[in-house]
Amino acid sequence: MNPLLARFSLEGQVALITGASRGIGLAMAKGLADAGAKVVLAARDPDTLANAQADIQRNGGRCSTLVLDVNDSTSRERAFVELQTREGRLDILVNNAGVEHVQASLELDEATWDMIVDTNLKGAFFCAQAAARLMQANGGGSILNLCSLTSEVGVPGATPYGASKSGLLGMTRALATEWAALGIRVNGIGPGYFRTELTEVFYQNDDWRQSMQAKIPLARFGNLEDLAGAAIFFCSPAASYITGQVLYIDGGYLASI
């Protein structure tokens, strides 16, 4: 293999992706598997995990599954113990699991706030902590957090989501500085407008869809495959001197506002 291309290879690495049974998580898992990693798909539903695993294996990827609810401490502990027993190591964590709920802030209740912030921020932190404990035993690793455009701009009706993703941006930078001494790099990617089950509520609104697309310089919404290259790069040796950074994959949206 060309020495330069070899730096983008994930051969021999074990990658855990949370919220990986569909959407963005599955797309990134496919990309990491294509780059040579053995991917461990984690989500709450065993049936959707099995479907995702079959999808990756059909294309020759090495893949296993792990039932994990990032918002449940018992589930997290059990999952990471099982991961260590089965794989013996962890090199990459993609903190992708997340939830969103669109609602006017004056009508928002505490239970909804807690559900969103606990999943998107608290769950991501404790998965990162558990992953880091495994990674440091092997001399380091890479953690990739799924941030958001709402880490940078306000979106009406998405206050708890934006708060959780802004917190995740701060967490990415803080952990990057703290865990650098352990050989653990922590970065993030911030997807722009991608149509998934999580965001489908927006795309049902024709006026919103047309006006939003008009604001994107590349004049289209993202395809899930557009995220794989950045995920591979951040997790690979090619990014060995990069930590504490967030890359927005948004078709130029942030640059134009």
| Best CA proximity match to 116, nearest among 92, 93, 142, 150 | 150
Tokens of 25: 């998580």
Q: How would you list the strands of the sheet with 92-95, edge to edge?
A: 63-67, 38-43, 14-18, 92-95, 141-146, 184-191, 246-249
pLDDT (0 to 100) of residue 199: 78
Q: Could you tell me if residue 53 is left (phi over 0), alpha (psi between -120 and 50 degrees) or otherwise beta?
A: alpha
pLDDT (0 to 100) of residue 87: 95
Mean pLDDT by 10 residues, the chain (257 residues): 87 97 95 98 97 96 97 97 96 95 93 96 98 95 96 91 97 98 98 85 88 94 94 98 98 94
Q: What is the dihedral of CA 171, 174, 179, 181, to 10 degrees?
A: 170
| Best CA proximity match to 166, nearest among 179, 185, 153 | 153
Q: Any idea which residues carry the catalytic annotation? A: 161
Q: What is the dihedral of CA 194, 197, 202, 207, to 10 degrees?
A: 80
To 10 degrees, what angle do helices 228-235 and 23-34 make? 60
* End-to-end C-alpha distance for the chain, whole angstroms: 42
3-state DSSP assignment of residue 120: helix
Element (H, E) at 255: none
Q: Where are the domains of the chain?
A: 3-256
Sign of CA dihedral 9, 12, 18, 23: positive
Q: What share of the chain is helix, strand, coil (3-state, %, to 5)?
A: 50, 15, 35
pLDDT (0 to 100) of residue 202: 80
3-256 classified as CATH 3.40.50.720: yes
Sign of CA dihedral 21, 25, 31, 37: negative
| Best CA proximity match to 248, nearest among 226, 219, 225, 215 | 226
pLDDT (0 to 100) of residue 102: 86
| Best CA proximity match to 75, nearest among 53, 55, 46, 47 | 46
| Best CA proximity match to 68, nearest among 15, 23, 20 | 20
State the pTM of this model: 0.95
Instruction: Give me the residues paired with residue 194 across strands.
Output: 222
3-state DSSP assignment of residue 37: coil
